[in-house]
Structure 1
Amino acid sequence: MTTFQSRAIFFVAALFTTIAACADPVCKDRTTEGSSSSASNRLPGVMYFNSKPKDSAQCSMRVVDGHLQVSAPISNPAMSCPDMAAWKLFADAVTQKFWENWAADQQTWPGQPLPICTSKGAANCCDPNTTNNPGYGDKANPAQNCPYFPGDHLSANAELPIRVAGPMSKAHLTSFAHGVNIKLLAADETGRDIRQSMSEIVFRNKPMFEYVFENDLYHQEGVQAVFNRNSANISGQSAGLPYRLKVQDGGLTEIDLPVDSVMIKSDWLSKKRAEKLGLHDDPANPYIKMTIDTRATDNNGNIQQPGEHWLVAMHISSKDTPNWLWATWEHVNNPGRCDYIGCNDSYGYSTPDKIAANQADNYTTPNYECDDLDLASWVFKPNGHYDGGQRSKGMAEVFAGLGIGMHESSAANPKNIEPSISDRGWLSYRLKGTQTEFTDTMGRPTHLANSVTEGGFVLSSSCVTCHARAGATAKGTIPLALGVFTNVANESGYLQSVSGAPDPNLFNADNQPPALTVLQTDFIWGFLTATCLNGAPFPCGSSTALRATAPTNKPRPSIRALIPH
């Protein structure tokens, strides 16, 4: 036997050993003649298109003087190193204490918004350049009338106010196909159960908050004005085609957030609900915990009460690219964390899968099993556990250099629990994947999904496509300009979301001039939270809406009330 033949035999043996270790070794057809033949697993061939490493081999970053720096020659990490860039966003957000300093939706879009001030010293209006706007003195609800950024008002020893969360956000409210028996729907998928009972807080950093406030976009009338200016230009009522109007203070014709804008969608489950669903606070992988008062009204009533909540999932999006960088994390112990599409992380943690020495270690494949039918097939095995994998040397150095996750959590006030930078719970989260484009280089639609926030439509989910449909009409963002879900249901009855490149005919009429039908709101569904000036009823701008109304403490409607479902 030649050396080449020996090596070939060794390679084949190693390959089959790897395959056997990764999958159930028995999946056989049982024919009527009593013989059997092994069923081939076709799913790995499908998953192959999800497994491509996202980061260049040259990607690296390090902590310098307490700040993360991307190493040369990388000049655009969001495009060349999206997974590393995602972890940088994660680390930066934690060190900035996003849960304490950043503005939530309720603080970006007030419930009873006053108009923006047009002159210095004006009363009953909101001034982006002052820290003493109407309502700021109300400790219970300082953002009732004007946008409020908490980080500008926290003293060194101030205790974090109990956060107020809402139910599942605007873009992700699915509905059942007609006639489907809810009791039969994917009962073994804990992610969907969590999704339908969790609380959500969306945080926005200072550049994003300031853009909304300074450009008068914190109420529906401000968004309407941008649509109308854009529409007038296209129709020839202003400068006319083919030119666009210059961006001027107070006169936007498009919504285009600053490149340093970052938003975080954090999803929390109350301790009681978590334990009821079979989740436990694993000492080896503790949850990040926070006291949350979820007074928002859901279609199912008030589903939560004030108390301890566990962070189960989070999305981070940044304007590092025109289409934004999209990244999603889950707690390592979430059941079904890598189901259906797998998990892909080129930077933070290697796959726990048993792979060959010459295989890339970025991808964790979904769990499979044999369906044990007479004509057998390999199928997904949902709701199982996935090991967390090995933390990379670079990731470990980043966490250590920034002091993230170095100590056990300690609650100074058990009645008002808040995270800390050093909380070891931050080490319990795994990157599910990132997304920067609508399609890959071969034209296939890209997908990104979280088993919690996209539970029920993981296979069709695309963050970038979903958010590209966020828009406004001449009436503002209410009623909803474009939906997220298609008129197609999966086998369980959940409607599926859209993916791939957007349809341009949804935004402009297919004629000349190309009349504006939907103004994109720069991938931000949060504008759905905006209300009419002075809290007037919809439709904004009517004689009823323009009439000043007395502020009330009436709770704001759930976002679910605004979305067909």
Structure 2
Amino acid sequence: MSGTPTPCIAEETKRNRPQFDYIVNNHLNNQAGLAAAFANAFKVEMPLEAIAVKGDWVPVRMLLKWIPQLGDVGKIEKLYYTTTITNDFDVVEYALVALHVSSRQNANWVWGTYEHQLNPGRCDDIGCFDSFGAAIPAVLPNKSTVNTQYGPCPKTEPLKAMMAKANLSSVWDNYCLKTTEVDYTAADGTPYALGNSVIERIVGNGTVAASSCISCHAYASFGANGRPTASATAMLPYNPTGNPIPGVLAGSLQFDFMWGVLLAPGDASLGRQP
């Protein structure tokens, strides 16, 4: 792709304080600390309060090209949560288009993925299902046309009440839960799938129907040198689904489903708490 500004999707991950403190206090924020944890057979087990959030952002000027019916920046600012980034070269306003949330409420975590209602192909491949917050709890994928619009996702009264109590901006009415995932497979062994039309299909260059948050993040791990092993990282391009392959994790300790371990610096001083 070409154009001005340069087409891109910015992706960031945030962790709440309980998860941050657990990682830092156990010296798991650098490779030296991870190597020591491996030597001591330390079991990484994040606190039940741990939450991680991944957000994907598109420059608003590029969003106008991606979804021309938005018309102008003013309309984007009314429909999207936006933020402005200033650097030495430019001032760029970004709009949030997708959001992953993982919460350690059970052993495999609870995974939910959200999309802006105007994302093309929002419910493609696996549909959209929300039995609590969506007034239309099941939206099946359009099998005849890809990248189509699926319309708004009006909220239920219980969710409206929760959002009002939290004093959320009205822009959040435009974000839709696609579905959630809490296990690797169904009772009959069929692998569960969960993927986002932006995060997995565009950024990850994969397919939504062959993506699974749990199955991918199960391989988040580190070896004796404090870095993920080659066999673990080799799973990333394949969008694994279903139960983990035990041999892949041989010689590794799992990092409790958090792939942030990939970014642990080699210099211990770079991993200190600010």
Name the TM-score class by shorter chain: 0.7 to 0.9
User: CA separation in 1, counterparts of 2:87 and 2:179?
Assistant: 29
Q: Check if 1:498 corresponds to 2:240.
A: yes
* Cα 1:468–1:521 shift into 2, 3 Å: same
Q: CA contact under 8 A between 1:267 and 1:311: conserved in structure 2?
A: yes
User: CA separation in 2, counterparts of 1:400 and 1:226?
Assistant: 44
**Matching residue within 203, 207, 210 for 1:457:** 207
Q: Check if 1:256 corresponds to 2:45.
A: yes
User: CA separation in 1, counterparts of 2:147 and 2:182?
Assistant: 28
**Matching residue within 471, 482, 485 for 2:221:** 471
* Cα 1:534–1:326 shift into 2, 3 Å: closer
Q: Check if 1:397 corresponds to 2:161.
A: yes
User: CA separation in 1, counterparts of 2:104 and 2:142?
Assistant: 34
In structure 2, the residue matched to 1:426 is 172
Q: CA contact under 8 A between 1:473 and 1:519: conserved in structure 2?
A: yes
Deviations 1:231-257 (A, max 9, x none): xxxxxxxxxxxxxxxxxxxxxx11111
In structure 2, the residue matched to 1:329 is 114
**Matching residue within 10, 16, 20 for 1:199:** 10
Shift in Å, 1:278 = 2.9
> Stretches of 4+ moved more than 6 A in 1?
none
Shift in Å, 1:481 = 4.8
In structure 1, the residue matched to 2:143 is 368
Normalising by the residue count of structure 2, what TM-score does the alignment of the two structures yield? 0.86
1:400-419 equivalences in 2 (<5 Å): 400-404=164-168
In structure 2, the residue matched to 1:289 is 82
Deviations 1:286-323 (A, max 9, x none): 0000113589xxxxxxxx95421000000010111011
1:54-203 equivalences in 2 (<5 Å): 197-203=8-14
* Cα 1:476–1:306 shift into 2, 3 Å: farther
**Matching residue within 55, 63, 69 for 1:266:** 55
Q: How many residues align?
A: 257
- RMSD of aligned C-alpha atoms? 2.4
In structure 1, the residue matched to 2:4 is none
Q: CA contact under 8 A between 2:228 and 2:252: conserved in structure 1?
A: no
Q: State percent identity of aligned pairs.
A: 33
Residue identity in the other structure for 1:259: L
Shift in Å, 1:326 = 0.3
Normalising by the residue count of structure 1, what TM-score does the alignment of the two structures yield? 0.43
* Cα 1:480–1:269 shift into 2, 3 Å: farther
* 5+ long unaligned stretches in structure 1: 1-182, 184-195, 231-252, 296-303, 352-361, 370-380, 405-422, 487-494, 509-516, 537-565
Q: CA contact under 8 A between 2:179 and 2:194: conserved in structure 1?
A: yes
Counterpart secondary structure, 1:207: helix
* Cα 1:285–1:429 shift into 2, 3 Å: farther
Deviations 1:22-70 (A, max 9, x none): xxxxxxxxxxxxxxxxxxxxxxxxxxxxxxxxxxxxxxxxxxxxxxxxx
User: CA separation in 2, counterparts of 1:393 and 1:319?
Assistant: 26
Q: Check if 1:342 corresponds to 2:84.
A: no
Counterpart secondary structure, 1:482: helix
* Cα 1:284–1:208 shift into 2, 3 Å: closer
User: CA separation in 2, counterparts of 1:367 and 1:466?
Assistant: 26
Counterpart secondary structure, 2:96: strand
Shift in Å, 1:283 = 6.6
Larger-Rg structure: 1
* Cα 1:531–1:278 shift into 2, 3 Å: same
Residue identity in the other structure for 2:82: K
Moved more, 220-229 or 458-467: 220-229
User: CA separation in 2, counterparts of 1:265 and 1:484?
Assistant: 22
In structure 1, the residue matched to 2:28 is 217
Structure showing the higher helix proportion among its residues: 2
